[in-house]
Amino acid sequence: MIDLHCHSNVSDGRLSPAEVVRLAHANGCTLLALTDHDHTGGLTEARAEAQKCGIRLINGVEISVTWRKRTVHIVGLDFDDGNEDLQNLLAEVRKGRLKRLQAIAAKLEKQGIGGAYEGALALAANPETVSRTHVAEFLINTGHVRNQQQAFSKYLGDGKPASVPHEWADLAAAVAAINGAGGLAVIAHPMRYGFSATAKRNLFEAFKASGGAAIEVHSGRSGQNDRLNYALSAERYGFLSSAGSDFHRQSGYGGGILGACPALPDICRPIWECFRPPHSFDSGQIEKTPFKIISNGL
């Protein structure tokens, strides 16, 4: 049982890193990556808990990037979390979040909703990674919307009254930072961007050219059709395949069951076959086992 994408309260998840690991283990997971948005601060606590439970933990992060003026999420897996260049890039990405929150709160104020800045921050365990998820929670708690989906469709989503365009990391720079830290870069939830077939093709090509390794063939509650389609895309571009629940909390919007992703289609080359042997970072060895992308000429 594998899950290579989930969140703790180091970003916009509800549970602490240790609680995430315990729940994943209770759900039968044996290989888990904690992938908080733009932050690796939960990995130490998660690793300690994983050692106690006897579950294998892979270093992870989900980096917000801007590609052609659109936001795309790139998951990094199995990297050295002590890598300075990667940490600098993550710190830079996080910097914009408080300012963006101010701008979102100002727009909500114009909609007659006050107090969103303080309200969202009060809900964030880590102000550096304060997210639209926290604003949504504030809107729910104050009775302005019924649920997270409605918070996005009414106020926070792209083009809605409180949406604020934001410049995240550059796609190629994020992939380079993950690769530079010895990791593997993965396009998160490609089925969720609402991109046209052409935009998706362009994204996959740009990602490939930047040194991207994989795409999520399964994410959250996506179904068999998505898995088959993205397995075919992965094969076409020579990508490895990843799978993650995108778990944030036990109830509410999005995310699948923590730790329990369905099996990938047979044609997939699972990304976990390219992970380093456990503890190779602990012994100071950061050389990656090289993996081969099978090129089919496309």
Binding site for ligand AMP (CB under 6 A): 12, 37, 64, 131-133, 148-149, 152, 157, 248, 253-254
State which residue, 238 or 252, has the beta carbon closest to ligand AMP. Answer: 252
Residue 9 Cα distances to 19, 36, 259, 272, angstroms: 10, 8, 17, 25
CB atoms within 10 A of CB 106: 13
In sign, the C-alpha dihedral spanning 277, 282, 283, 288 is positive
State which residue, 235 or 247, has the beta carbon closest to Mn ion. Answer: 247
From 204, 197, 279, 268, select the one nearest 232 (Cα to Cα).
Answer: 268
Q: Within its chain, how far is the Cα of 42 from the centroid?
A: 14
CB atoms within 10 A of CB 149: 14
Cβ partners under 8 Å of residue 284, min gap 6: none
Question: Cβ of residue 12: shortest distance to ligand AMP, in angstroms?
Answer: 5
**Which of ligand AMP, Mn ion, none has residue 180 at its interface (CB below 5 to 8 Å by kind)?**
none
State which residue, 73 or 276, has the beta carbon closest to ligand AMP. Answer: 73
The radius of gyration of the chain from alpha carbons, rounded to an integer in Å, stands at 18
Question: Cβ of residue 162: shortest distance to ligand AMP, in angstroms?
Answer: 12
State which residue, 221 or 279, has the beta carbon closest to ligand AMP. Answer: 221
State which residue, 73 or 276, has the beta carbon closest to Mn ion. Answer: 73
Question: Cβ of residue 224: shortest distance to ligand AMP, in angstroms?
Answer: 23
**Which of Mn ion, ligand AMP, none has residue 148 at its interface (CB below 5 to 8 Å by kind)?**
ligand AMP
Give the residue ranges of DSSP H helices in 54-83. none
Question: Cβ of residue 1: shortest distance to ligand AMP, in angstroms?
Answer: 23
**Which of ligand AMP, Mn ion, none has residue 275 at its interface (CB below 5 to 8 Å by kind)?**
none
Burial class of 146 by CB neighbour count within 10 A (0 to 12, 13 to 18, 19+): exposed
Distance (Å, rounded) from C-alpha 77 to C-alpha 183?
Answer: 5
**Which of ligand AMP, Mn ion, none has residue 64 at its interface (CB below 5 to 8 Å by kind)?**
ligand AMP
Look up residue 79 and give its two tokens. Answer: 């990297």
Question: Cβ of residue 113: shortest distance to Mn ion, in angstroms?
Answer: 21
Distance (Å, rounded) from C-alpha 176 to C-alpha 138?
Answer: 36
State which residue, 101 or 268, has the beta carbon closest to ligand AMP. Answer: 101
Question: Cβ of residue 53: shortest distance to Mn ion, in angstroms?
Answer: 22
In this structure, are residues 106 and 33 in contact, taking their beta carbons and an 8 Å threshold? Answer: no
Look up residue 80 and give its two tokens. Answer: 């050295």
**Residue nearest Mn ion, Cβ-based:** 73
**Which of Mn ion, ligand AMP, none has residue 49 at its interface (CB below 5 to 8 Å by kind)?**
none
Chain positions contacting Mn ion, by CB under 5 A: 12, 62, 73, 188, 246
**Residue nearest ligand AMP, Cβ-based:** 131
**Which of ligand AMP, Mn ion, none has residue 8 at its interface (CB below 5 to 8 Å by kind)?**
none
Number of residues assigned to the chain: 298
Question: Cβ of residue 132: shortest distance to ligand AMP, in angstroms?
Answer: 4
**Which of Mn ion, ligand AMP, none has residue 253 at its interface (CB below 5 to 8 Å by kind)?**
ligand AMP
Question: Cβ of residue 148: shortest distance to ligand AMP, in angstroms?
Answer: 4
CB atoms within 10 A of CB 12: 23
